[in-house]
Amino acid sequence: MPGRTADVERKTKETQIHVSIDLDGSGESDINTGIGFFDHMLAAVAKHGLFDLKIQAKGDLAIDPHHTVEDVGISVGRAIDKALGEKVGLARFGWAVVPMDEALILTAIDLSGRGLLCYEVGIEQEKIGALDTVLIAEFFESLARNAGMTLHLHKLSGEDPHHTAEAVFKSFAKALQAATRTSERITGVPSTKGVL
């Protein structure tokens, strides 16, 4: 289904965010949030989900990365929802189990229209680069809520914080890629209710 793209802008007293997404892209990204490790993880989502993703974010990083990470999550979630349009012919469900060396992460997604995060990923290290590891859950909660997505992220194994975090983002990318597929075999909206 061509044309599944969206642009979202969010401006507050704390952040200025612009997100552009193409769900049927080739994995290209141009990302600058001012938080290096976060940029690296978002680029991995684009690459492994085959989404074209542009994110430009300016936030009050001198205070804390929290507002920037949360507002990027809100904006990416809204962009996904907008790009999905009417959801006709949508696979709706997607899942992936992705390893990164000793780390193994399971992700399951339902593009149900109901935003919910179930996050069971323990990362003992407080920071990876400039990113507070507690903000990974914050990002996905904001994204899931604004995309209308039920999102489960579970750590099956993992000791190294970097490997664990990277497996989380890559697993999410592969699950979202599966959930956003379309098929001519799926008629209408994939719900017995007739609406998502």
Q: Helical H runs in the chain?
A: 36-49, 66-84, 134-147, 161-179
Query: Considering the domain 5-179 in this protein, what is its CATH number?
Result: 3.30.230.40
Report the percent of the chain where pLDDT is more than 90: 90
Answer yes or no: is pLDDT of 152 > 80.
yes
Percentages helix, strand, coil for the chain (3-state, rounded to 5) are 35, 30, 35
Q: CA 142 to CA 99: how far, in whole Å?
A: 25
What does the domain layout of the chain look like in residue ranges?
5-179
- Specify whether the CB–CB gap between 135 and 66 falls below 8 A: yes
Tell me the pTM. Answer: 0.95
- Specify whether the CB–CB gap between 17 and 57 falls below 8 A: yes
Place of tokens 């597929």: 181
Q: What is the pLDDT of residue 44?
A: 98
At 170, the pLDDT band (50, 70, 90 cuts) reads very high
